[in-house]
Chain A
């Protein structure tokens, strides 16, 4: 009996969640022109990243004999680098690196943030106080300084970058999750669930988590942009992803900087790709926050309520 009820609830929740995403996409396109542009950019990044080996005209580490530091031409649309590798191909494979790092680290971020935030928020009291002091202490270190120290501790490499970025972002993000958990903890339905003897794990999975999905989705979207940028900064400083793996940040350092006056195309394209991608993700993230966060809806999020132009017209018509 309860089994069927549970599955029924599961089915209802499932169908509702699906319609939520469709609804979200429809509203994104209808209400948020900037967010839609961001969404298209993100989609292009995903396609480029996934199909990199079909899209790239050359291999990312393929040395083409006799074409060192060639300016952009029909054969190499974005030129070649100092050892004769096609830059377009390296940018395309770089999209894959950015995509993997961004998605993987953001997933770890969300996982860490949800675990710390939910436990700290739900238990509360002294435990919460102690955990939050640790979070405070970690957040005192400005991003890049903490990242460089941690990376020099673990050594460079893609896995290390993903773990470090995921954990550092996750500790910061736990604040948002904790706030959301505290916000819904006192709700009647949580109390009711407790009253009928719901176990803590069930309480979390059935009642808490579904209701903090909005901040978690926002956390994820916004983190991806920052993480991609941070990976590039780390690789630029030489503490990120080591060559020959094509990281956009790494392409801007080392040989790129050495030859930048002779072959500026070596440093233009990776940075431009980085800018466009992070720009797109941030636009999408902003739009998602406006659409998902009910507290901001109609308030600062949509900037609703007041239209200065209309007010101005009203003011004028009154004065006339």
Chain B
């Protein structure tokens, strides 16, 4: 096991290195240079020659250096925990991310909780009533949760309550520290929508795990002792089936980060996803690279933890 962990950690290094290169190069290839955009703004203010200004701006942003030097500078700063400053507002990206990460994190954690609350009962029911109408309905519901576009559900949630009851979700962000109850009210609907996709996957996993456990000898023993179904399911089967489900569901961060980009935009939550979309629209290299790097590292660590969890939970996984 420890050899497996060490091997996985060693493989992490080249992957992380490739990630930084991809992150760095990707945004620098975006057409419509940030300098053109800054120039357009400055054109109205100064009537001086364009060339002089371009060089000045390039020099200020460090874009006049050869690309490998730029990369070296950037990666050096990254190791010191400095993701650079926004090209437009000069605000440090690290600080901005520190303010916005909690919003996305709260949304994600609530999403996971909601996802589990919906998924686990349906998954269990589907498994213990295998191949009945109820099971088919449960499985269809799971696929429906994966199929329905979250931006559509979000739109419907804004449209219909507003038409029927004149209720609209608050569009002003209420921090958790200021008013926990109002904050929860604001977050629960977007979180539920975000949790829907996750609950689809979790439902299927719960069902599979339950079916696997129900096939075990000790469950047969429990039945033959004459225990009631509820006791067999709740006391004997559930415990073993749910440990993997919950631990894997808790590690579904990539699914949630993808979803949060759209959900934060629709519900005007000042999280990382919204920050990302704004930065992309402004072609703000440093912010986009910063977010990409943070997100990719989180996902990489998350995947590592998922594999470890699998290895720990399932002795059949070979550590090679």
Give the B-binding residues of A (Cβ under 8 A).
33-34, 133-134, 136-138, 140-145, 148-150, 152-153, 155, 225, 229, 232-233, 236-237, 249, 252, 257, 260-261, 264, 267-268, 270-271, 274-275, 278-279, 281-283, 286, 300, 303, 305-309, 311-312, 314-316, 318-319
Contacts and interface: CB of A to CB of B under 8 A. Distances in A.
B302 to A, nearest CB: 9
Nearest to A140: B296
Contacts of A137: 15, 18-19, 22, 296
A252 B152 contact: yes
Given A133-B18, A283-B140, A141 B292 contact: yes
A155 B31 contact: yes
A67 to B, nearest CB: 21
B101 interface: no
B159 A271 contact: no
A312 B225 CA distance: 12
Nearest to A143: B258
Contacts of A312: 223, 229
Contacts of B132: 309
Interface string B77-121: 000000000000000000000000000000000000000000000
A314 to B, nearest CB: 7
Contact of A308 (B22, B127, B148): B127
Contacts, number: 179
B15 A136 contact: yes
A148 B215 contact: no
Contacts of A311: 214, 219-220, 223
A264 B11 CA distance: 51
Interface string B144-160: 10111101110110111
A17 to B, nearest CB: 29
B152 A274 contact: yes
B129 A153 contact: no
B299 interface: yes
B288 A149 contact: yes
A144 B261 contact: yes
Contact of A268 (B147, B156, B292, B303): B156
A133 B11 contact: yes
B174 interface: no
Contact of B224 (A261, A283, A309, A318): A318
CB-CB nearest 5 A-B residue pairs:
A319-B226, A271-B152, A315-B223, A137-B18, A278-B147
B223 A140 contact: no
B15 A306 contact: no
Given A142-B257, A275-B144, A303 B130 contact: yes
B31 A153 contact: yes
Contacts of B208: 300, 303
Nearest to B257: A142
A38 to B, nearest CB: 8
A312 B148 CA distance: 36
A264 B160 contact: yes
Interface in B15-50: 15, 18-19, 22, 26-27, 29-31
Given A237-B262, A268-B156, A308-B214, 12 more contacts: A34-B140, A140-B299, A141-B292, A143-B258, A149-B280, A261-B163, A264-B163, A275-B152, A282-B143, A303-B207, A307-B130, A315-B232
A133 B20 CA distance: 13
Given A136-B15, A275-B149, A233 B280 contact: no
